[in-house]
Amino acid sequence: MKKLILDVDTGVDDAQAIMMALAAPDVEILGITCSHGNTTLDNACKNTLRVLKACNRLDIPVYRGCLEPLLGRKHHAGDFHGKDGLGDTPDPDAPGLELLQKEKAAKAIVQFVNQNPGEVTLVATAPLTNLALAVKLNPGFTKKLKALYIMGGNMESRGNTTVCGEFNFVADPEAAYIVLERYLCPTYIATWEFSCRNSLPWAFCDTWLKQGTDKSRFMEKIYAHTRKMVQTERYQKELVSGPGFNTCDTYATAAAIEDTLVTESEEVAVTVELDGTHTRGMMVLDYMGLLKKKHKVFIMKRVDLEKFKQLLINALK
């Protein structure tokens, strides 16, 4: 069994990623840690519990993490996923925050990894605040990580939040910088441009949501608001490769689940720009070797789209 920790800021995209991981037969989710990001921390926690309830998996422990970035001002995704992050489709019977673990997210991450050395893969689809705090608490634990998969950053300075910045990195640039400096385990990054270039046809999305299961009906309901947003002309123009169904967070999760999913990647040293009027939070790729960094990350370029589709289909069965 692959042992995963999911670090999320649960909006609709994280919900899709969580459900994909839950459906994988050879995956054990040790815990889910929540962060500020798409919505407020409390909403992210409530949404995570709600997704687990929809999948009948409230046995998985959920941990409250950081409610704000290390230094900068808060960024939320506005109404992109609805004010509550889950499509503004409230459930009167949703699980309450009393189900959260008493342990905090950063400490839980460290403990899971130390208890399972060399076995745990950490999948981060949120601002990286919890991960940065974890390595500050215990600098040595990252040596025991099997791998780190990140949805965030960009490889061509194309932004989706600022001119040159992707949301997760812009929401906490200092945390992203710390993680890319201090996590020296095998690291795989699904950037904004990568997810755009591997987007799927909207016809597939229709098929995906019409499976006639409780999970597909749940996803269709919570995704309706976001779908209207992403199908606007303005947003579709941002998608680098043209219109399509782009479920960003699931790419990093899918790659962590399926070893053969990524068909093309490149290995390069990276860092994060912390200054600059337009470039703060931008991921910088060091093709010239000027950073003198020994640790390099794998930047995903292409995936097997048929395998990716199947993972999405399985998530809603």
Active-site residue list = 9
* Contact of 80 with 226, CB cutoff 8 Å: yes
Which DSSP string do the residues of 125-154 spell out, in sequence order?
-S-THHHHHHHHH-TTGGGG-SEEEEE---
* Contact of 197 with 242, CB cutoff 8 Å: no
SS (H, E, C) 43-58: HHHHHHHHHHHHCCCC
Nearest to 55 by CA among 188, 194, 214, 172: 214
Decide: residue 124, CB within 10 A, 0-12 exposed, 13-18 middle, 19+ buried.
buried
In which residue are the tokens 């470039």 written?
279
* Contact of 226 with 209, CB cutoff 8 Å: no
